[in-house]
Amino acid sequence: MKTNAFYRTGLGLFAAGTLTFLGASAFAQEPSKAIAVLHPTQGNNVHGVVTFTKTGDKMKIVADVMGLTPGKHGFHIHEYGDCSAPDATSAGGHFNPTNHPHAGHDAAERHEGDMGNLEADASGKAHLELTDDMMTFSGEKSIIGRGVIVHAKADDLQSQPVGNAGGRVACGVIGIAKP
Ligand SMILES: [Cu+2]
Ligand SMILES: [Zn+2]
């Protein structure tokens, strides 16, 4: 009887410990995929989907956007995931936690949110794939909850602070996606 009770207690503690461990690791694990669904701002018809998938130190970005005028359109992550204003100015400026100047996506020093340009074909569709080594899903460079903005004009990749890309034609919020 004594032995039995000892074993039961021991197994109980072991089981509780295992559950605590599994619970903690499940919550501590950062997301592996995020998604932003882009909706048109007032007077525009631009919509699309952008996915962010983390593999090791790299972030794979895939954007499919439609309803654009043909040509280049500035494409950035902005500081706030707030698309409430009709012109999406509520999303704030470019996401720039390290306080660097605005530049293109391949520049060594740039805003974390600088993704360069989408380029729409004659039918108004743009597809872009980028690999990023600055963005994260946790810490000060985390893009979760930030905004994604598509602009009316091309980003010239050098004018400060936003590349002279004009108004905002679509806005979306980056949320955690099912892996
Ligand atoms: Cu922008
Ligand atoms: Zn920028």
What pLDDT, in 10s, does the model give residues 30-82?
899 999 999 999 999 999 999 999 998 899 999 999 999 999 999 999 999 99
Asked whether residue 83 carries a pLDDT value surpassing 60, the answer given is yes
pLDDT over threshold 50, residue 1: no
- Are residues 131 and 152 located together in one domain of the fold? yes
Residues with CB under 5 A from ligand 2 (ion): 94, 102, 111, 114
Based on the domain organization, do 57 and 21 belong to the same domain? no
Segment holding 146, helix H or strand E: none
Assess whether 57 and 128 both reside in one domain.
yes
- 23 and 49: one domain? no
User: pTM of this prediction?
Assistant: 0.84
- The answer to whether residues 10 and 82 belong to one domain is no
Helix (H, G, I), strand (E, B) or coil at 136: strand
64 closest CA partner among 135, 125, 148, 119 = 125
User: Ligand 2 centre from 134 Cα, in Å?
Assistant: 13
The DSSP code sequence of 16-42 is HHHHHHHHHHHHHSPPSEEEEEEEEPT
Over 80: is that where the pLDDT of 16 sits? no
Same domain, 11 and 94: no
Q: Residues of the chain with pLDDT > 90: what percent?
A: 81
- 18/49 same-domain check: no
Residue range 86-109: mean pLDDT, rounded: 97
Stretch 159-171: mean pLDDT: 97
Separation of CA 150 and ligand 2 centre (Å): 12
- Average pLDDT over all residues of the chain: 90
Catalytic residue annotation: 76, 78, 94, 102, 111, 114, 151, 168
Segment among 20-29, 93-102, 133-142 with least mean pLDDT: 20-29
Nearest partner of 59 among 131, 138, 143, judged by Cα: 131
CA angle at 106 for the pair 153 and 160, rounded to the nearest 5°:
50
Is the per-residue pLDDT at 26 higher than 60? no
The domain in which residue 18 lies consists of: 1-29
Q: What pLDDT is recorded for position 29?
A: 79
What pLDDT sits at residue 104?
Answer: 98
